[in-house]
């Protein structure tokens, strides 16, 4: 039997963990929706922890149901506001305990194929929708690493197998590159924070990995400066020294661009600068051929940009403490 939202109790009794379990929506997403859309205003315990009611949970299940049918979170919020203004009731089925026991949060990988399909159909509107939906459900780093990067790789493989044209592959890369660049510019330029220069090794034109990394650094508050593809080594070292950057991070996808990075650390050491920037590197070349890491001095930052950001926090902290 369907029940109106108002039929559910508004007594605040559930903590965040219980809400996650009952709705399949993660705590990070709940907080983001609360902040961005004022979707729910949970009560608080005396020590500040959020407490939710059956009505809050029913509303969240309704929101999730609309999103499963393909609506974006902003569209669902607009529908909710319209219904409230017009005095229309929202109906929510009571929770089925068996379905509840089986419910697992939707993994980010579920969005890779819809994004790939939208891009290979040149449907930017649908691609925007899929991306907006993932940003509503997961943290930004998760979206970059678990949705955007695999979608690009999948598109590349389709092209490699001759299943899509080079024009479609270029379109997809250009679209995602554009989205990442606008995200990068959307973050405040924190000139008071350590500068980290990010770019691609000499000869390297694969830049999406480096761009994702730069966006994540900006999101973490670093003053990340993104230089783009194919940057000459002596030039980047010069710029980093002049600008007193805390760190230089370069990306290499193929063996020859990876080997070009052997020069960076010696150049920094020979500069005679009392406090030269740290040098870190990453990218597909080093992930697939670990022997390259022995040849390039500096810090290999790992294959996952999320771990790399944490590592950088630690490296800069250790440097500040003179270790
Ligand atoms: C898009 C693309 C291009 C575009 C790039 C456009 C752009 N503006 O970036 C263009 C058309 C320019 C291109 C050119 C070429 N490409 Co291409 N390309 C791709 C494709 C389809 C996607 C690459 C991508 O963006 N992936 C998504 C990103 C996010 O993944 P990623 O780069 O691996 O990065 C992840 C990690 O490595 C890490 N990471 C990356 N950088 C860094 C840096 C740091 C500091 C850290 C911490 C982490 C990190 O984070 C990312 C997220 O997990 C791949 C297919 C594939 N399977 O990857 C082929 C691919 C990489 N290309 C390939 C080839 C061969 C080429 C060309 C040589 C083709 C040619 N004959 O001209 C040229 C080389 C150009 C050059 N000099 O660099 C091969 C590479 C094979 C190899 N082992 O070397 C691939 C694998 C295709 C294939 N199956 O053969 N390519």
DSSP codes, 96-134: PHHHHHH--PPPGGGGHHHHHHHHHTT-HHHHHHHHHHH
Question: Could you say which of 116, 149, 184 is where a domain stops?
Answer: 184
> Is residue 146 located within the same domain as residue 239?
no
Taking CA atoms only, the protein residue closest to ligand 1 atom 44 is 282
Question: Could you say which of 151, 184, 217 is where a domain stops?
Answer: 184
Taking CA atoms only, the protein residue closest to ligand 1 atom 16 is 206
How far is 115 from 168, CA to CA, in rounded Å?
A: 13
Rounded to 10 degrees, what is the CA torsion of 166, 169, 170, 173? -160
CA of 12 to the centre of ligand 1 (A): 50
Taking CA atoms only, the protein residue closest to ligand 1 atom 68 is 254
Select from 206, 279, 281 the residue to mutate for testing ligand 1; criterion: most ligand atoms less than 8 Å from CB.
206
> So what's the pLDDT on residue 37?
85
> Is residue 87 located within the same domain as residue 162?
no
| DSSP three-state, residue 20 | helix
> So what's the pLDDT on residue 200?
98
CA of 218 to the centre of ligand 1 (A): 22
CA of 94 to the centre of ligand 1 (A): 48
Alpha helices in 24-165 (DSSP H): 27-37, 54-68, 73-85, 97-102, 112-120, 124-137, 140-143, 149-160
> Is residue 227 located within the same domain as residue 311?
yes
Contacts of 31 (CB under 8 A, 6+ apart): none
> Is residue 258 located within the same domain as residue 142?
no
**250 Cα nearest atom in ligand 1:** 45
| DSSP three-state, residue 60 | helix
> Is residue 165 located within the same domain as residue 80?
no
For 97, 209, 248, 277, the CA distances from 194, given in Å and listed in that order, are: 51, 21, 11, 10
CATH number, residue 177: 1.10.1240.10
CA of 188 to the centre of ligand 1 (A): 28
CA of 122 to the centre of ligand 1 (A): 21
> Domains in the chain: how many in total?
3
Taking CA atoms only, the protein residue closest to ligand 1 atom 59 is 156
> So what's the pLDDT on residue 198?
97
Contacts of 200 (CB under 8 A, 6+ apart): 206, 207, 210, 227, 228, 229, 230, 231, 250, 251, 252, 257
Taking CA atoms only, the protein residue closest to ligand 1 atom 13 is 206
Largest distance between two CA atoms of the chain: 77
Domain enclosing residue 288, as ranges? 188-320
> So what's the pLDDT on residue 69?
80
> Is residue 301 located within the same domain as residue 204?
yes
> Is residue 229 located within the same domain as residue 271?
yes
CA of 76 to the centre of ligand 1 (A): 37
Taking CA atoms only, the protein residue closest to ligand 1 atom 42 is 283
**284 Cα nearest atom in ligand 1:** 37
CA of 251 to the centre of ligand 1 (A): 10
Is 236 in contact with 227 (CB distance < 8 Å)? yes
pLDDT (tens place) for every residue of the chain, 323 residues total: 678 888 888 888 888 888 887 888 888 888 888 888 888 888 887 777 888 988 999 999 899 888 888 888 888 999 999 998 998 888 887 776 655 555 556 788 989 999 999 999 999 988 988 888 888 778 888 888 899 999 999 999 999 899 999 999 999 999 999 999 988 888 777 778 899 999 999 999 999 999 999 999 998 889 999 999 999 999 999 999 999 999 999 999 999 999 999 999 999 999 888 889 999 999 999 999 999 999 999 999 999 998 999 999 999 998 887 75
Rounded to 10 degrees, what is the CA torsion of 134, 161, 283, 26? 20
CATH number, residue 47: 1.10.1660.10
Long-range Cβ contact pairs of 123-130 (< 8 A, separation 24 or more): 124/175, 127/175, 129/70, 129/72
Question: Could you say which of 125, 150, 184 is where a domain stops?
Answer: 184
> Is residue 56 located within the same domain as residue 70?
yes
> Is residue 215 located within the same domain as residue 234?
yes
> Is residue 65 located within the same domain as residue 119?
no
> Which residues, judged by CB distance below 6 Å to any ligand atom, belong to the binding site of ligand 1?
145, 149, 152-153, 156-157, 160, 169, 173, 177, 203-210, 212-213, 249, 251, 253-254, 280-284, 287, 301, 303, 305, 308
CA of 119 to the centre of ligand 1 (A): 18
> What is the pTM for the complete model shown?
0.76
> So what's the pLDDT on residue 215?
92
CATH number, residue 298: 3.40.50.280
How far is 108 from 86, CA to CA, in rounded Å?
A: 35
> Is residue 22 located within the same domain as residue 85?
yes
> Is residue 69 located within the same domain as residue 114?
no
């Amino acid at each position: 039997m369907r029940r109106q939202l108002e039929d559910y109790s508004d007594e605040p009794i559930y903590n965040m963990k219980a809400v996650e379990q009952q709705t399949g929506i993660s705590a990070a997403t709940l907080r983001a929706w609360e902040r961005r859309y004022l979707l729910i205003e949970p009560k608080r315990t005396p020590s500040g922890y959020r407490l939710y009611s059956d009505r809050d949970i029913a509303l969240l299940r309704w929101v999730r149901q609309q999103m499963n049918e393909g609506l974006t979170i902003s569209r669902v919020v607009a529908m909710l506001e319209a219904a409230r203004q017009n005095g229309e009731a929202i109906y929510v089925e009571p929770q089925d305990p068996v379905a509840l026991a089986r419910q697992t949060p939707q993994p980010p990988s579920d969005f890779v194929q819809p994004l790939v399909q939208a891009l290979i159909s040149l449907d930017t509107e649908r691609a925007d929708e899929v991306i907006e939906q993932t940003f509503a459900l997961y943290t930004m780093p998760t979206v970059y690493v678990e949705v955007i990067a695999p979608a690009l790789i999948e598109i590349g493989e389709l092209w490699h197998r001759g299943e899509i044209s080079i024009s479609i592959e270029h379109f997809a890369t250009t679209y995602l590159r554009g989205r990442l660049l606008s995200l990068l510019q959307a973050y405040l330029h924190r000139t008071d924070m350590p500068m980290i220069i990010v770019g691609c090794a000499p000869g390297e034109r694969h830049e999406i990995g480096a761009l994702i990394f730069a966006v994540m650094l900006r999101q973490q508050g670093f003053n990340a400066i993104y230089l783009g593809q194919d940057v000459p080594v002596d030039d980047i070292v010069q710029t980093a020294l002049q600008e007193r950057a805390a760190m230089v991070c370069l990306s290499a996808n193929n063996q020859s661009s990876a080997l070009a990075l052997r020069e960076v650390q010696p150049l920094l050491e020979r500069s005679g600068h009392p406090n030269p920037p740290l040098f870190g590197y990453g990218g597909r070349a080093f992930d697939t051929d670990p022997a390259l890491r022995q040849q390039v001095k500096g810090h290999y930052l790992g294959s996952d940009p999320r771990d790399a950001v944490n590592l950088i926090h630690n490296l800069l902290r250790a440097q500040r403490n003179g270790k």
